Structure 1
């Protein structure tokens, strides 16, 4: 079997002082100066316990990973009254950790904090894969593969998670909400966050203010603006603005990227949809010679006419929309409720071919094929994909349980691996912290508001956040080669290669619907199957590195060119060096032209 990564969290003796803000008998936190509650592997971090014991007592604490394995534990004495006890800790293992604590005599448990349930305080240890994944030299900034919604101006969080781009507003409704010709482009308009040049902009264009809208009110992607000539001229201003920003702050970025519509609910004529895209395209390209105009950004990738990007391309392709697209953006939701209980592979093994088409890998292949008929070899960005808790879930003191958090992380990671493996150059994580609707869709708990809030900054991570942090460290700076051929049923595998002819990274997992109930239940973290992956030439032996979903590497021996792996519902990454060993063993995504 594939070895389990070893490693633990060790903490010194506490320093204790009188006082502290109590919330019940005991509370815990891992304060960080940058607000992320994420720490580098091997670096010291602090764990603070505040107690209100009625008499002398003992704090008993533990730290568990996303599977419930205890990776650190201990106890220490506290005197009565309000006390703050601080441990200095280090971790030799990466991932998500939940602290639990109680008083051995007085009892008590960690209080609910915002959307985080009773009983836990959470933090993350960021993986260090520098000795496993070679550093990549990027010729251009857009070779990076990961964006995010929800932490737009939070530099420390984006850096910790490995994010390279976010969405910036240049909608008519944002720049000219109250009347025509009220915005003149200037570099000073740029959100100061972007002036570091570290985070690239995807420029958002949807949104029509009331004064420009045929509906008489603000509308977002239902109708074309009243005056398309004005709209084209406005887009020319956006183009000159973007061109100046790129030259000033993004010297290694080749192009500017624009998203024209956002989950359009089109009620206007088909002719006006194409006319609107024509106006946007001509306006942008008149002033930005490096514009990449992208759409149509529907909710689902494929397999429906009105809510799917593939369906829109099928409708508007014959009407000439390909003349006004340089690339395609889509959202990556693969059914009407993208929950932990509804994984992206749910329909892959369905006996009905009509249902199989709803699986995310099949939707992505359908979208890529449709794109080829519109304009060959366009780039494809998935600019939103999130996984919420199960249907009917509500934030509360006893929800979510640990198993829901594990299931969410596994499903979200697999969904993003599928869209990258099926030919998206870029994928966007959604969302930052929990918010009041789409319960649990944040990758972090909002530890202030019990229903969550948009833009929350006092947060602590879920397992999903650390799975994302590992994913970016493993797959940023890669090209997609394609999906492995000849896989057994319920086994999934995608092959990537690091830029500049670097090592091969193969992402692998298994999924079995029988162990993943579609209504509330327990998602199996132990279901497994064996798979033999060819990593080298016949007759050779050696070692490959296997990285778990949280970014922990182990060395695994192979013989006769083959490594024997144990696959679970949690993806692993296999790093190997013989590119030729994979020749003929994968199928490249249609129309994928690299990074």
Structure 2
């Protein structure tokens, strides 16, 4: 989709009024304002009912001395530190101005698709002032607030960290409980979403209760995180220093909200053949490794009994991306790789009868299949209770390299659906039935070669990233993963920028463990996906979809079925050609028996619900690159049309 210059300023209202509804009668496209004069993406917009309009109440103003030196800036205080707000709660937007004379602020709020949700203006007195707007947002999702001074239209909101100039962002979390009450989990470890990293530990700006830590993961619906019991971390100076009775548990796990994926990779220097901490060699003493793992098993069994009594098993990941050409290459022999797994498996199982020991955790889905087959010939599958992988599917997992990419020539990398099917078939053939598959890291960055800056990322890129993040994790689960981990909380310094679900606001290139963040569309796409899909069992991809249409079905314990659907066309989806949010494919989804009519709920990518009628058992859909979720009640119809992933056993 092409970019268009902004051709009109936000609607100007009388000075005493600070709210406006979305413009009526917009047929196809609207232009959104990151900032006056900015280049923005065209996105679809349909005329909205009044009930869908955002309303911002009259502004209040106070002295803003010491509030910064930019002519204009803005923020949304009052959240739990995430700049995410519960649905139904008002959002306060504070606009700071520093002017030499009385002036006027023109502002707008736009959504993920750059559709204006509200716009207006208010007067500001000379000097440093803080003006507050209180906004009611009927819709859930990501929102970008933009503003400029009438006297200085080119002076817009400043760039902050990795967030570009022209906007401040916030999110409204979806509430789907009236249609889909939270599912009842027979065991806590049936939750299907995790987060890679330790963002759940970072202290919040405006929060908190409990331990004083911001609930980033629980806001997003993520129930798993990494917990380190790596040998080189726990016994860096010598053997027998890790004591299960006194081992420290990371703060974020103590409440029991976030479960542990227990990481075991890494050998301390004193046990390493090269005298350095290593991920590339087996230890000089298998007996020492075995002994350490018995103590980890004791520790984990104790922690589960005390803090996670509703969790049925403990889950361990042995190695981390031992890719031959990757960042942590395995340089030792193949036989020693298998020996490493044997020592870990036997040590853990000696003291933790509920252990699930997993690997091999290569970075690419296809590489996991290749090396699982290779090491199976040396007997490694005897020491695998399940499989962990990282879900990267291409040399660049980015908006321009989405997971559905088609194979165009011999030797091309297959798309993610095909790679997952090959892996699931390999697991079925080599491992015990029902062996779990955890995808413990998958992230979508910006495009290779891009860079953070005042004009990047733009609205199109942010929309595209959010759509691709959701589609990638839906494919992973729909093709048979039990659990998938989202990477990463906020932007951090990587060669390719943009992996974060949130902007990092304090450092131009991002930072690890940030406590000052602002959401992207991807964060709210994840929040909607987790609320809709968590607690389900995978039914699988649906038969009979036309080329370019993707549909995955998931069954809830209450008998309802969630079908996630979208369409994709390579030719209209890249940074060069534009990320076309309007191109659509019509398809009728069977939701009930033939001859029957009724109504189902359809949720958009942000978790907003529409009641939609179907006739003769089928629901007509207009599918774009943005996933939608159909909630239907006739599970038998969907199950008959779904393909169970190879070897997948529903919990």
TM-score normalized by the length of structure 2: 0.88
Deviations, residues 182-231 of structure 1 (Å, cap 9, x unaligned): 221125511232111111000000011211111221112x1111111110
> How many residues in Structure 1 have an aligned counterpart in Structure 2?
584
The separation in 1 between residues aligned to 2:521 and 2:586, in whole angstroms, is 25
Give the Cα–Cα distance (whole angstroms) in 1 for the partners of residues 304 and 314 of structure 2.
Answer: 7
Q: Name stretches of at least 5 consecutive residues in structure 2 with no aligned partner.
A: 1-27, 29-43, 203-213, 323-328
The match for 2:149 is 103
Q: 1:366 to 1:23 in 2, by over 3 A?
A: farther
Check if 1:362 corresponds to 2:418: yes
1:171 aligns with 2:237: no
**Are the equivalent residues in 1 in contact too, given 2:581–2:624 (CA < 8 A)?**
yes
Match of 2:538 among 465, 474, 480: 480
**Residue 555 (structure 1) aligned with residue 611 (structure 2):** yes
1:274 aligns with 2:338: yes
Task: Note if 1:404 corresponds to 2:461.
Answer: yes
* Change beyond 3 A, Cα 1:505–1:351: same
Displacement, 1:33?
4.3
| Structure 1 residue 32 corresponds to structure 2 residue 91 | no
Q: CA RMSD in A?
A: 1.6
Distance 1:332 1:32 in 2: 36
1:69 aligns with 2:126: no
Question: Match for residue 3 of structure 2?
Answer: none
Say whether residues 1:390 and 2:447 are aligned partners: yes
Give the equivalent residue in structure 2 for 1:456. Answer: 514
Of residues 413, 426, 446 in structure 1, which corresponds to 2:470?
A: 413
Question: In structure 2, how many angstroms separate the alpha carbons of the residues matched to 1:436 and 1:214?
Answer: 31
**Equivalent-residue separation in structure 1 for 2:114 and 2:102 (angstroms):** 30
**Cα distance, 1:105 vs. partner?**
2.2
Counterpart among 290, 293, 305 of residue 357 in structure 2: 293
SS at match of 2:152: coil
Q: What residue is the counterpart of 1:590 in the other structure?
A: 646
CA–CA distance in structure 2, aligned partners of residues 277 and 494 of structure 1: 34
Structure 1 Cα separation of the partners of residues 399 and 601 of structure 2: 29
Question: Structure 1: how far apart are the matches of 2:69 and 2:571?
Answer: 42
Q: 1:305 maps to which residue?
A: none
Which secondary structure does the structure 2 equivalent of 1:86 belong to?
strand
- 2:201 is equivalent to residue 153 of structure 1: yes
- In 2, Cα distance between equivalents of 1:226 and 1:337: 37
Match for residue 250 of structure 2 among 166, 188, 191:
191
What is aligned with 1:429?
486
In the other structure, the counterpart of 2:275 is: 216
Instruction: Evaluate the alpha carbon distance shift between residue 142 and residue 3 of structure 1 in structure 2; reply closer, same or farther with a 3 A threshold.
Output: farther
**Residue pair 2:218, 2:257 contacting (<8 A) in 1 also:** no
Q: Aligned partners of 1:39, 1:512: CA distance in 2, in Å?
A: 34
Corresponding position of 1:90: 136
2:375, 2:500 → 1: CA distance? 34
1:353, distance to aligned residue in structure 2 (A): 5.7
Q: For 2:99, which of 31, 50, 53 is the aligned residue? A: 53
Q: Distance in 2 between matches of 1:187 and 1:297?
A: 30
SS at match of 1:14: strand
Distance 1:3 1:462, change over 3 A: closer
- The residue aligned with 2:549 is 491
1:19 aligns with 2:64: yes
Is residue 2:156 matched to residue 1:135?
Answer: no
C-alpha deviations, 1:534-572, integer Å up to 9, x for none?
Answer: 101111111011100000010111001111000000010
Structure 1 residue 98: Cα displacement:
0.6
The question of whether the paired residues in 2 share the 8 Å contact of 1:530 and 1:564 is answered with: yes
Distance 1:55 1:287 in 2: 73
Within-5 A mapping of 1:313-324: 313-324=372-383
Match of 2:23 in 1: none
Measure how far apart 1:122 and its partner are.
Answer: 0.4
| 8 Å Cα contact 2:396-2:448 kept in structure 1 | yes
Name structure 1 gaps, 5 residues minimum: 303-307
Q: After TM superposition, what 4+ stretches of structure 1 lie above 4 angstroms from structure 2? A: 1-6
How far apart are residue 502 of structure 1 and its match?
Answer: 2.3
Q: Is the 8 A contact 1:37 1:461 kept in 2?
A: yes
